[in-house]
Amino acid sequence: MTKKNISIRFFLFLALAGLLTMILGCGQKIPQGKYTEEEMLNLPLANRYDLPAPTGGMTLSIGPETLTADDILSIPQLQEALAPLAKRGNMTLYEEQAISWIRGAVRSRVADMLLYEEARKNAPENIDDMLNNAVKKEVERFVAGYDNNLALAEQELKKMGMDWRSFQNFQKKMIMTQSYISASMEEQKTFSRQELLDYYNQIKDKQFSRPGKVQFQLIELVPDKIPPDLIQQDETPRQAARRLADEIIDNLRQGQDFGELARQYSHGPLAALGGLWAPVTIGSDSLAEPYDILEEHAQTMSPGALKGPIENAGRLFILRLESLTPAVSKTFEEVKPMLEAQLEFQYKNKQYNEMVDRVIKRADLVEMERFAEFCAREGYRRWSTL
């Protein structure tokens, strides 16, 4: 039932009540119905629960505006995140993740509507002229983005589910709301050097430092694993491994493929992959013995260079450097403007969230929750059958 119908019935009720008062005041009797008072008390009440949803589904009224399930479910980010979940056909799993996303979307839209309503109330008298000029520029900018092809721009609007009128109305609301938010916030804050330095120390390892990395190919020879046919007369396995290592290095210098020789001769765990190791973060101690010495050797080499045989723990290694990425660490002075921008953004974001928290208190939180749950169910119904 719409608000208009409710209002009409309410005023009819008041008129009827006034008429009855007039009749009673004139001392006339009220006509009796076909049920006695006792029978009326025993009549069952109409069911008010588990009723089917009204045509068009549930809506949420915020001031003079109405929020529909279509408004929420057409948000691209929601569709991308939740439609694949719904297609799996597991409603329980879907609802566990969907409801939090949809609550956030509903809260954001309600806040936008309330902020726009507040902005409209506080706008100057000539706001419409100002908005029309601003929107005209936005339309021109939008069309220019499609090489001033009006037909192409209009086609793109249709893909977004909009026409020129709805696009202009959207721009008006957005411009007015953003202007109101900006005007309501405090002026740009100045941060002291110590505040910036403390923030730098807090985030520098994550944002402004990058550890070095090395990647290499490796041929590993273990004397006890040298095949008998590769051991010459009067040679020990260790001597054979040393000779074989020298021969392999000569072959590599003559242009033979490192990967092929690794697959043929290496006893290492990655021989089948041509001896190519995953990138190693310098200083992370990720290489266990006897491979830990390779990180230090690799840092002294240039990409493509060979080194060996390197002996350690009874094994011989032939190393080829694939790549070397040096560590990077930006100083405080280098990133100071970025620090100021980040702290300013956090400061403005905090003010905005406080503003949203304030206006949301004017909304019916229970109805918002019911509406979010309805949108979640409606989303599952739509997306699970796609």
DSSP secondary structure string, 220-242?
Answer: EE-GGGS-GGGSPTT--HHHHHH
Mean pLDDT throughout 250-268?
A: 96
372, amino acid identity:
A
How confident is the model over 200-215, as pLDDT tens digits? 999 998 999 999 999 9
pLDDT of 276 higher than 60:
yes
Residue 112 lies inside a defined structural domain of this protein: yes
Sign of the alpha-carbon dihedral angle for 192, 194, 199, 200: positive
AA identity, residue 51: L
Give the model's pLDDT for residue 36: 45
Pick from 35-44, 61-70, 103-112, 187-196: least confident: 35-44
pLDDT exceeding 70 applies to what percent of the chain? 85
Whether 216 and 183 share a structural domain: no
For range 362-373, the mean pLDDT: 94
Q: How many residues does the chain have?
A: 386
pLDDT at 176: 87
Domain count, the chain: 2
Residue 305's domain comprises 212-326
Q: Check residue 56 and give its pLDDT.
A: 47
Give residue 124's pLDDT: 85
Q: Does the structure show a pLDDT above 50 at 7? A: no
Predicted confidence at residue 323, as pLDDT, reads 96
3-state secondary structure of 45: coil
Domain assignment present for residue 228? The answer is: yes
36 sits in the region (left: phi over 0; alpha: psi -120 to 50; else beta) called beta
> Is residue 4 in a domain?
no
Q: Do 231 and 310 fall within a single domain?
A: yes
Considering the domain architecture, whether residues 61 and 172 belong to the same structural domain is answered as yes
Domain co-membership, 182 together with 132: yes
Query: DSSP string covering 334-359, please?
Result: HHHHHHHHHHHHHHHHHHHHHHHHHH
Per-residue pLDDT at 52: 38
Mean pLDDT to the nearest integer, 328-354? 93
Q: What is the pLDDT of residue 369?
A: 95
SS3 89: coil
Q: Could you tell me if residue 42 is inside a domain?
A: no
Give dist(CA 278, CA 297) in Å, integer.
16
**pLDDT for residue 128:** 83
Residue 125 has a pLDDT of 82
197 falls within a domain? no
312: domain CATH number?
3.10.50.40
CA dist 370 and 310 (Å) reads 70
Q: Which residue intervals of 185-230 are DSSP H helices?
A: 193-203
**pLDDT bracket for residue 261 (50, 70, 90):** very high
* 177 and 218, same domain (yes or no): no
Residues 6+ apart with CB under 8 A from 22: none
pLDDT tens profile 19-59: 333 333 333 333 344 334 444 334 333 333 333 344 347 89
Query: Which has the closest alpha carbon to 278: 322, 222, 328, 325?
Result: 322
Is residue 187's pLDDT more than 80?
no
Handedness of CA 10, 15, 21, 27 (dihedral sign): negative
Q: Both 234 and 268 in a single domain?
A: yes
Out of 4-18, 159-173, 329-343, pick the least confident. Answer: 4-18
* Cβ–Cβ under 8 Å, residues 199 and 336: no
Is pLDDT of 17 > 80?
A: no
Band (pLDDT 50/70/90 cuts) for residue 3 is: very low
Q: Partners of 320 in the beta sheet?
A: 217, 306
What is the C-alpha to C-alpha distance for residues 102 and 376, in angstroms, rounded to an integer? 7
H helix or E strand, kind and range, residue 64: none
Residue 301 phi, psi (nearest 5): -110, 165
Instruction: Say if CB 307 and CB 293 are below 8 A apart.
Output: no
Q: Model-level pTM? A: 0.58
pLDDT at 29: 38
269 DSSP assignment = T
Sheet holding 306-312, edge to edge: 280-281, 213-221, 315-325, 306-312
342 within some domain: no
Identify whether residues 249 and 168 lie together within a single domain.
no
Q: What's the pLDDT at 260? A: 96
122 lies in some domain: yes
Read off the pLDDT of residues 92-143 as tens digits, 9 standing for 90 and up: 999 999 999 999 999 999 999 999 999 988 888 888 888 889 899 999 999 9
**Given its phi and psi angles, is residue 314 left (phi above 0), alpha (psi -120 to 50 degrees) or beta?**
left
What's the pLDDT tens digit per position in 203-249? 998 999 999 999 999 999 999 999 999 999 889 999 999 999 999 99
pLDDT-derived band at 16 (thresholds 50, 70, 90) equals: very low
How does the average pLDDT of the chain come out, rounded? 84
- Shared domain check, 218 and 178: no
DSSP class of 100: H
Sheet strands (E) in the chain: 59-62, 65-68, 209-210, 213-221, 280-281, 306-312, 315-325, 328-329
Q: How confident is the model at residue 185 (pLDDT cuts 50, 70, 90)?
A: confident
Q: What mean pLDDT comes out for the span 337-351? A: 93
How many Å apart are CA 128 and CA 146, to the nearest integer?
A: 27
- For residues 311 and 373, state if they share a domain: no
Q: Which amino acid is at 364?
A: D
My answer on whether 108 and 221 are in the same domain is: no
Contact 57, 375 (CB under 8 A): no
Query: Looking at the domain assignment, is residue 194 inside a domain?
Result: no
Helix, strand or coil for residue 142? helix
Together in a domain, 282 and 380: no
Q: Are residues 85 and 184 in the same domain?
A: yes
